[in-house]
Structure 1
Amino acid sequence: MTPNDEELMMQRVRNDLIDSYDEELEMSLQDSDGDPDADKNENHEQRRYYFRELFRLQAELVKLQDWVVSTGQKIVILFEGRDAAGKGGAIKRITQRLNPRICRVAALPAPNERERTQWYFQRFVSHLPAAGEMVLFDRSWYNRAGVERVMGFCSDEQYEEFFRTVPDFEKMLVRSGIKVIKYWFSISDEEQHLRFLGRIHDPLKQWKLSPMDLESRSRWEAYTKAKEVMLARTNIAEAPWWVVHADDKKKARLNCIHHLLSQMPYLETEHEKVVLPERVRHDDYVRHAVPAEILVPQVY
């Protein structure tokens, strides 16, 4: 390979890196809730600061991931909050640069008929991490203390049994070597209203708006009371709650990631230098042409 060829190759590597950062820009534009002028109106320096900090924190998350693998840590992170509070956006930025086989997301649907007859925590147990894994729950067993309570999907007896059981359940997880971190994303009534309007008017986000979400608007105060009871009765020393102020999505993501990193004494893991081996070539190798009928049309 000539020096010129090597420089061209490295330029392509740099371009690929820029393309990956463009994905962040794309997601940022999606956060504008359908306002085409949102990007123009936002302070340019604030945008630069946000991306600079996000990339820096994501680099630290990669170090955390390496530490989790090398030391055999088991991490569970719960994300709770009202609909449209920004849980999914935070989870997306945490996992974006990580190995999905090491850091995975558990977003369980409503329980089916069989699961409703099981021990309440049973369907969550199969998603718990093994050594060297992190699991992020996009909503969790705390559904019982929130939506199930407010919408009447559980009885008073089941509700009280949940509060009797969940501290022991989480203490048992901690004793088994699982680190449990619980986040509540807190937004105001006005901010949720604006985000719901954004979902209604953005065809790319309408799928996020379920009939249950719409019903939650009319039961705002009931959800508030349920949240207050939940935080008071399940904020244990072994697995305390952490509240993230989330009216500003970007600040919420940065604050959550920064706090998450502070919760674990991770160290940078040393790696052997990676050397790309030379491509082995054989004189008798002939590459066959791909049949035209199975090629994807090059529309772009």
Structure 2
Amino acid sequence: MGKKHKQSRDLEAGGQEPLKRKEYEAHLRKLQVELCHLQEWIKQTNYRGIVVFEGRDAAGKGGTIKAITERVSPRVFRVVALPTPSERQKSQMFMQRYIEHFPSAGEIVIFDRSWYNRAGVERVMGFCTKQQAKRFLEGCPEIENYIMESGIQLIKFWLEVSEEEQTRRFRARIEDPLRQWKLSPMDVEAYDRWYDYSKARDEMLEATDTEQSRWHIVRTDEKRRGRLNLISHLLRLIPYERIEKELVKLPKQSDKHAYDDQATLVGRHFVPEF
């Protein structure tokens, strides 16, 4: 695809010129600094939060989560991406395997896919019955109210990508050996069911986009802009304050027990230069 054609496609998708990498990285750094301030506030206030990431396949969930978490501690920003349920888990109450990953004090848990699998992939691919999907949609708002009443802030993001852009990204994954792992057999099978997923999405939003627990929809045809929009909005949704910290001063190192510690490594097995 030529450069001009790519820019035209990005412009049509987002209505704006795509962000250049340098500009994107400058904006992202500022947001990541704010995420570090948020992290300190989370630890000191014992905040508990859940951020749900749902959306189309290839909508950019993984890249956005990485942008959020790459400069903060995984002990505070904990990412949960559950595999296919085991036979034992299939016999449990549907929400059970998600609840055990809910945050403790001073933690924010990011679900890369969540209990909304039941309203999406499980329903579309026939892994649950229509009755089970219906019962889930009916009960989900009440369950989420219980979650929030326990003191956990629940934030839900839906990442939306156009059919054309999803196709382009799937083809790029097929051609790039560094990205082929991102295209699962399930993705390929689901690709033909675009409108089934659209219908499932619309019914999910109708049932679970409540005044108490809103869905925040992010257009991600232009990935960089979509990431910045989402992170910026996440920071607005959490009522944090900057907590000033005293600058750490390194103490003077004692040489009381000094010895040539590098000489002791002579003869050890070092990794060769690349």
Partner of 1:17: none
Map of 1:292 onto structure 2 = 267
Q: How does 1:155-234 map to 2 (within 5 A)?
A: 155-234=129-208
- Moved segments of 4+, more than 6 Å: 35-38, 41-45
Q: CA deviation at 1:239?
A: 1.4
TM-score, structure 2 normalization: 0.91
Cα 1:205–1:44 change in 2 (3 A) is: closer
Q: Tell me, in whole angstroms, the C-alpha distance in 2 between the residues paired with 1:290 and 1:46.
A: 46
Among 114, 126, 138, the alignment partner of 2:112 is 138
CA 79–44 in structure 1, closer or farther in 2 if over 3 Å, else same = closer
Deviation track 1:81-112 (CA, whole Å, cap 9, x = no partner) reads 11100011110000111111110100000101
Deviates more, 1:227-236 or 1:156-165: 156-165
Offset of 1:273 from its aligned partner?
1.9
Letter in 2 for 1:141: W
Residues in 1 aligned to 2:241 and 2:257: alpha-carbon distance in whole angstroms: 48
The one-letter amino acid paired with 1:251 is: R
Cα-to-partner distance string for 1:195-226 (whole Å, 9 max, x where unaligned) = 00010000000000001001111111100000
Cα distance change, pair 37–272 in 1 and its aligned pair in 2 (3 A): same
**Mapped pair 1:76 → 2:50:** yes
Contact kept, 8 Å, 2:32 with 2:68, in 1: the verdict is yes
What is the deviation of 1:289?
2.0
Which letter does structure 2 place at the counterpart of 1:187? Answer: V
Aligned counterpart, 2:235: 261
The corresponding residue for 2:248 is: 274
- d(CA) in 2 for partners of 1:78 and 1:86? 14
Matching residue within 230, 240, 247 for 2:214: 240
> When the two structures are aligned, how many residues end up with a matched partner?
263
Give RMSD over aligned pairs. Answer: 2.1
Equivalence for 2:13: none
Q: Cα–Cα, structure 1 residues 162 and 124, in superposed 2: closer, same or farther, change >3 Å?
A: same
Taking the aligned partners of 2:201 and 2:150, their CA distance within structure 1 comes to 28
Q: Distance in 2 between matches of 1:37 and 1:163?
A: 44
Q: Which amino acid counterpart does residue 276 of structure 1 have in structure 2? A: L
Give ranges in structure 1 of 5+ residues lacking alignment. 1-34
Secondary structure at the aligned position of 1:137 is classed as strand
Which one-letter code corresponds to 2:61 in the other structure? K
* Alignment partner, residue 30 of structure 1: none
Amino acid in the other structure paired with 1:52: A
**What is the SS of the residue equivalent to 2:255?**
coil
Displacement of 1:165: 2.1
TM-aligned CA deviation for residue 158 of structure 1: 1.5
Q: Does 1:55 align with 2:37?
A: no
Q: In the aligned structure 2, how far is the partner of 1:176 from the partner of 1:282?
A: 53
How far is 1:44 from its partner?
Answer: 10
Q: 1:268 to 1:284 in 2, by over 3 A?
A: closer
How does the TM-score come out when normalised to structure 1?
0.83
CA deviation after TM superposition for structure 1 residue 285, in Å: 3.8
Q: Which residue of structure 2 lines up, in the alignment, with residue 6 of structure 1? A: none
Distance 1:156 1:273 in 2: 58
- Return the offset for 1:292: 3.2
Question: Distance in 1 between the 2:30 and 2:253 partners?
Answer: 34
Identity of aligned residues (%): 47
Q: Does the 8 Å CA contact 2:18/2:222 hold for their aligned counterparts?
A: no
Measured in 2, the distance between the counterparts of 1:197 and 1:47 equals 22
CA, structure 1 residues 295+190, in 2 after alignment: closer, same or farther (shift >3 Å)? same
